[in-house]
C-alpha cells in the first residue's frame, strides 16, 4: 500500500513538472516563466531523455561548468557554456531573462557567461524560453503568440570540441560567421585548446584540422559522395548520412543518423585527432568507428609540392614525385627529407594564343590536392575542363569536381601553381597532370617497353600452365585407363577359362559413383543381406534405379568366384532372370550392379511369403 502511494506521488510530481509546455508552466526540458533558472544540482532533460544539461566538473571539483552530455554517458560532454570561465564553487545559477538572454551567475551574482542573444531586428521579445531539444540542441525561442517560436539563439551555432547529428561544421560566406570545433586544453580541462577543426571554403569544401596557424590534416575536397581522402564514409552510409550544404549564406558539412543508428559523435582531441565514436549500449562504452589522421600520409603536405605519398612504400619513406617531376634536392631526397618537394623535369610548351603540344598523364586513385589555389566550375564538363587547362599557361592539373553519375565525373577543378597533399587512397579520384609532349612520349615508350617484357613473360606462363594442365589430364586418363584395364583383365581371365575367347562387354562403374548412388551405403538404402554380403538400392546419375550387391570381405568368395558370377550372369540373358548392368572393382571392394525389381522377385509370386517345411 505504501509503495503504491509513493508511486502515485511521484507520478503526480512528474506530471506537474513535465506533462505540459504551455507558457508559464515548468517543464523538465525548459526554462521559461514557470521556471526561470536552475542551480547546481538541478538539470534539464530532453523530452526523450537522450541529453541532459546541468553543472559538472570533469576534473577538479572546484572548477564547475554548465554543459550538455549524453544521458547514457555523463563523460560524453558535447557542449560547454563557460569553457574558459569556470565557476569556483557550487553556488552557480543558470537563468534566462524576458529578452531571451541566458546568464550564468556565480555566488556573488556576477555574470560568468551569457548567450549574447540577438533579437534579429524584430524588436525585444516580451517573453522567451530556453529548451533542451531531443537532438541535444539548447535553443532560445520567443515564447509569445505572435512569433510562432522563432529561434533567437542555439548552442549548435557555438560548438565546443564535439559535432553530433544535426550540427554544422562550416561558415557563412556573407557574414563570416564560422561553426568550427576547438579542442579541450586537456582531457579534464574544457578550456579552449590549440587545435581547431574547420571548413575550408576556398575552392571546393574541405574539412581541415589546424594546430595554431599550421594545417595538420585535411579530408580532401567534397566530391558529391564523400570527402576524396575519406572514402570509408560510404561504408557506414546505412547508419549516417553525410551532406555538404552549399548556399549563399552557408557552406557546411552535416551528418544525420538513421533511425536504427547508435548515438554517435565526432570529437576533436587535444592532439588534433578527429574520432568518430559510436555508443555500444550493451557494453556501455564508446567504440572508435573511424579516426584521422590514419597514417603518415595523412600528415598535411607530407611529400611537399608535387609529391605523392604512398603508405605502402616505407622503403622510400612513403614519398615519390608525380609523373613528370623529379626531386628539387636529390641529396636531401636520398636522406629521406622531402621538404623541398619536386620540380618539373621538362618545361611546358605554352605559347601566345593557347597553342600547345602539352598533354596530360592520369594519376589514378588519389586524394585530390589542396584547392586553396584552385578555381572551380561545377557546371563544366570534364572535356571542357581539359581544354581550359591547356589554354591557361599557369594550369598544372585538373580533375572532376563531382563523381556522382559515374563515368569520369563532372564539374571542373583547375590548379595553378603547386599541388600539395596528394596521396593514394582506396576509391581515390583521377588527377590529370599536365606534362610536356616529350614527357608523355617517354612515358608511352616506357609503357611500350614494359609491354614488350610483360607480353612474352605472360605468354610463357600461359604455355607453361597449359602444359602442366595437359600433363595432368593425360596422367589422370592414364590412371583411369589402367584401372579399367586391370578390372577387365580379371574378367578376361574368367572368360578364357569358362566360355572361350568371347569378349564380355559390361560397363565398369566407378566406386565414387556407387558411393553417391547409395548415399555412402546407408542403412536406409539397404534392401537385404546374406552370407555373400549386402544389397543396396541406388540411383545413378541418369536417375536409373539399380540394386548394388556389395560382396562381404568375410564371405569367402574370392576373385575366381567373382569372375565366374560376372561372366555367367552377363552371358545368361532371360526375361525371368535379373539382368547384370555393370560391375566395380576398387582395391579390395567387389560390387555388382543389377537391374532393380520394384515388385520383388518371381519366387514371391510363386511361393508367397509363407514357406512349407521340408
What span, in angstroms and rounded, lies between the C-alpha atoms of 582 and 594? Answer: 7
Residues 81 and 220 in one domain: no
Residues 36 and 136 in one domain: yes
Number of domains in the chain: 4
pLDDT value at residue 119: 63
pTM of the predicted model over 0.85: no
Residues 395 and 527 in one domain: no
What is the CATH number for 561?
Answer: 3.30.200.20
Domain end: 124, 158, 192, which one? 158
pLDDT value at residue 8: 36
What span, in angstroms and rounded, lies between the C-alpha atoms of 137 and 114? Answer: 16
What domain range is 216 assigned to?
A: 173-294
> H helices of 326-436, where?
330-334, 382-390
Q: How far is CA 210 from the centre of its chain?
A: 27
Domain end: 294, 321, 354, which one? 294
pLDDT less than 50: residues of the chain? 1-25, 449, 493-502, 610-614
By the 8 A CB rule, do 81 and 66 touch? yes
DSSP characters over 45-82 = E-TTSSEEEEEE-SS-TT-BEEEEEETTEEEEEEEESS
By the 8 A CB rule, do 304 and 341 touch? yes
Residues 613 and 464 in one domain: yes
Residues 456 and 555 in one domain: yes
In a domain, 312, yes or no: no
Residues 571 and 501 in one domain: yes
pLDDT value at residue 495: 39
Helix orientation angle between 559-571 and 437-498, rounded to the nearest 10 degrees: 90
pLDDT value at residue 600: 67
Residues 509 and 568 in one domain: yes
Residues 399 and 447 in one domain: no
pLDDT value at residue 461: 78
Cell of 175: 557574414
Residues 464 and 549 in one domain: yes
In a domain, 177, yes or no: yes
Residues 136 and 150 in one domain: yes
pLDDT value at residue 287: 95
By the 8 A CB rule, do 79 and 67 touch? yes
What is the CATH number for 93?
Answer: 2.90.10.10
In a domain, 304, yes or no: no
Domain end: 158, 181, 205, which one? 158
By the 8 A CB rule, do 390 and 356 touch? yes
pLDDT value at residue 473: 74
pLDDT value at residue 497: 41
Residues 431 and 359 in one domain: yes
Q: Is 512 annotated as a binding residue?
A: no
In a domain, 246, yes or no: yes
In a domain, 79, yes or no: yes
In a domain, 303, yes or no: no
By the 8 A CB rule, do 85 and 112 touch? yes
In a domain, 417, yes or no: yes
Residues 187 and 149 in one domain: no
Cell of 163: 559535432
In a domain, 284, yes or no: yes
pLDDT value at residue 25: 47
Cell of 457: 613473360
Amino acid at each position: 500500500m505504501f509503495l503504491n502511494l509513493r508511486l502515485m506521488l511521484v507520478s503526480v510530481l512528474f506530471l506537474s513538472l513535465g506533462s505540459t509546455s504551455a507558457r508559464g508552466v515548468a517543464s523538465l526540458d525548459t526554462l521559461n516563466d514557470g521556471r526561470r533558472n536552475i542551480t547546481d544540482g538541478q538539470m534539464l532533460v530532453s523530452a526523450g531523455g537522450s541529453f541532459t544539461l546541468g553543472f559538472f566538473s570533469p576534473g577538479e571539483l572546484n572548477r564547475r561548468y554548465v554543459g550538455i552530455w549524453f544521458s547514457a554517458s555523463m563523460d560524453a560532454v558535447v557542449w560547454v557554456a563557460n569553457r574558459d570561465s569556470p565557476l569556483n564553487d557550487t553556488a552557480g545559477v543558470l537563468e534566462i531573462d524576458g529578452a531571451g538572454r541566458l546568464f550564468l551567475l556565480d555566488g556573488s551574482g556576477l555574470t560568468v557567461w551569457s548567450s549574447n542573444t540577438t533579437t534579429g531586428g524584430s524588436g525585444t521579445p516580451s517573453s522567451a524560453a530556453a529548451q533542451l531539444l531531443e537532438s541535444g540542441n539548447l535553443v532560445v525561442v520567443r515564447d509569445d503568440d505572435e512569433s510562432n517560436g522563432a529561434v533567437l539563439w542555439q548552442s549548435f551555432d557555438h560548438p565546443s570540441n564535439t559535432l553530433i547529428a544535426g550540427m554544422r561544421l562550416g561558415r557563412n560566406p556573407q557574414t563570416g560567421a564560422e561553426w568550427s570545433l576547438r579542442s579541450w586544453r586537456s582531457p579534464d580541462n574544457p578550456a579552449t585548446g590549440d587545435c581547431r577543426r574547420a571548413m575550408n571554403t576556398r575552392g571546393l569544401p574541405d574539412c581541415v584540422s589546424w594546430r595554431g596557424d599550421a594545417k595538420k590534416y585535411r579530408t580532401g575536397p567534397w566530391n558529391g559522395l564523400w570527402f576524396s581522402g575519406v572514402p570509408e564514409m560510404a561504408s557506414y552510409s546505412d547508419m549516417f548520412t553525410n551532406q555538404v550544404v552549399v548556399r549563399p549564406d552557408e557552406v557546411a558539412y552535416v551528418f544525420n543518423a538513421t533511425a536504427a543508428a547508435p548515438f554517435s559523435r565526432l570529437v576533436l582531441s587535444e592532439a588534433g585527432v578527429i574520432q568518430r565514436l559510436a555508443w555500444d549500449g550493451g557494453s556501455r562504452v564508446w567504440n572508435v568507428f573511424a579516426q584521422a589522421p590514419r597514417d603518415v600520409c595523412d600528415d598535411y603536405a607530407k611529400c611537399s609540392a608535387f609529391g605523392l605519398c604512398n603508405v605502402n612504400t616505407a622503403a622510400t619513406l612513403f614519398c615519390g614525385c608525380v609523373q613528370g617531376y623529379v626531386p628539387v634536392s636529390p641529396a636531401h631526397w636520398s636522406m629521406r627529407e622531402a621538404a623541398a618537394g619536386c620540380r618539373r623535369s621538362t618545361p611546358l610548351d605554352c605559347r601566345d594564343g593557347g597553342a600547345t603540344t602539352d598533354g596530360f598523364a592520369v594519376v589514378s586513385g588519389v586524394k585530390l590536392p589542396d584547392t586553396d589555389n584552385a578555381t572551380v566550375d561545377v557546371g563544366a564538363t570534364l572535356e571542357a575542363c581539359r581544354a581550359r587547362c591547356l589554354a591557361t599557361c599557369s594550369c598544372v592539373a585538373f580533375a572532376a569536381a563531382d563523381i556522382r553519375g559515374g563515368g569520369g565525373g563532372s564539374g571542373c577543378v583547375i590548379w595553378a601553381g603547386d599541388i600539395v597533399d596528394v596521396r593514394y587512397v582506396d576509391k581515390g579520384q583521377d588527377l590529370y597532370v599536365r606534362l610536356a609532349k616529350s614527357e608523355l612520349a617517354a612515358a608511352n615508350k616506357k609503357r611500350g617497353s614494359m609491354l614488350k617484357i610483360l607480353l612474352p613473360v605472360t605468354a610463357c606462363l600461359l604455355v607453361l600452365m597449359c602444359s602442366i594442365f595437359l600433363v595432368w589430364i593425360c596422367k589422370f586418363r592414364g590412371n583411369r585407363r589402367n584401372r579399367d584395364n586391370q578390372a577387365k583383365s580379371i574378367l578376361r581371365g574368367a572368360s578364357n577359362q569358362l566360355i572361350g575367347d568371347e569378349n564380355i562387354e559390361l560397363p565398369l562403374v566407378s566406386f565414387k559413383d556407387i558411393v553417391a548412388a547409395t548415399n555412402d551405403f546407408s542403412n536406409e538404402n539397404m534392401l537385404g543381406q546374406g552370407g555373400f554380403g549386402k544389397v543396396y538400392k541406388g540411383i545413378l546419375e541418369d536417375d536409373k534405379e539399380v540394386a548394388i550387391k556389395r560382396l562381404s570381405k568375410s564371405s569367402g568368395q574370392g576373385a575366381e568366384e567373382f569372375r565366374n558370377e560376372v561372366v555367367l550372369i552377363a552371358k545368361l540373358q532371360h526375361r525371368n532372370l535379373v539382368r547384370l548392368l555393370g560391375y566395380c572393382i576398387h582395391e579390395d571392394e567387389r560390387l555388382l550392379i543389377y537391374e532393380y525389381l520394384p515388385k520383388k522377385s518371381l519366387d514371391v509370386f510363386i511361393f508367397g511369403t509363407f514357406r512349407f517345411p521340408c
